[in-house]
Structure 1
């Protein structure tokens, strides 16, 4: 499997994400924000966590306009797989690759802890290694993780089984306890918790490893 990890000024989880892909057997290339094209033959693009461009304007807003992001958008529109984690999720909502938006946490405080997540669907390459309803534990670290969506969008996500994960104890006020959502074609996942920080037992847990093993089964899009 070939993966690319995007690096913006202020990204701080790009190395973690690259290591998680590599542990699952992927060949990983890091791609700088000023590049205008992705490497050929990719199976998946990872948009990592951090504070791209210092989170100025809105989290992910400037990154959404960077040269490489245009290539990421085109890749997903052509059917390519992508995962956006934390700030990466914010970037993907800013680009409209994923619906909804991430707002300031309801408690107005930065949250950094391990959160319980319930697997809401196994019908995706990202979640297929888990069981329906399984509770896993992943770290969260965000100030703007409150997922919001208008009633029609929320209904569509629910009706189309596109809610990937929900919080067991909602830490940020997200509507319907949503922690992660899928694109219409189910090839793009955005989530606020950090699976790439849960692939090594020395870091406190390995519940994220199954996600990357599942992703490793991808084949290049036609």
Structure 2
């Protein structure tokens, strides 16, 4: 797939009046690299460069611009009229968690598993962008969990359960994302079980953890 002509100029236009250093701070990229992307070349080697999908994701967030559209303009996505269909026709509110592979999306509900093939990369990218709107968080490399459905959290094992008694389906989340989303998960569990949250501070005062009122 071919990158659109003057893509660097397009990126520069997206940045607008934002300084390179401000764009670097928002995106996590270096200001020198952002300028290289706008010039479409590495100024040290004079080689032509193209931003990776990961770089485009960072720029889309920094510039508040559609990631899908950036991917299309950069030449990673190609859309045709035949591709204009919904990848997902499932009510996500009832889905507990989703596993994503290179070619398939697997949806898990209570006692039900549905597998959908990925037909369009454009629609798949939009699908990923929309998951958070339905309460899903990426809690492992290929795992998206509906936090509206989580009823119990075992932080020692990194396990999430979808019933208050911990029976039935469960998922294990990565340690890195467990640390990142620990408080959010606890708040979600409390909300889903209609309980309140209280802070339980350790005796030393060095740390604290959130617990539901039922657990105290």
- When normalised by structure 1's length, the TM-score is 0.26
- When normalised by structure 2's length, the TM-score is 0.27
Q: Highest Rg: 1 or 2?
A: 2
Identify, as 1 or 2, the structure richer in helix: 2
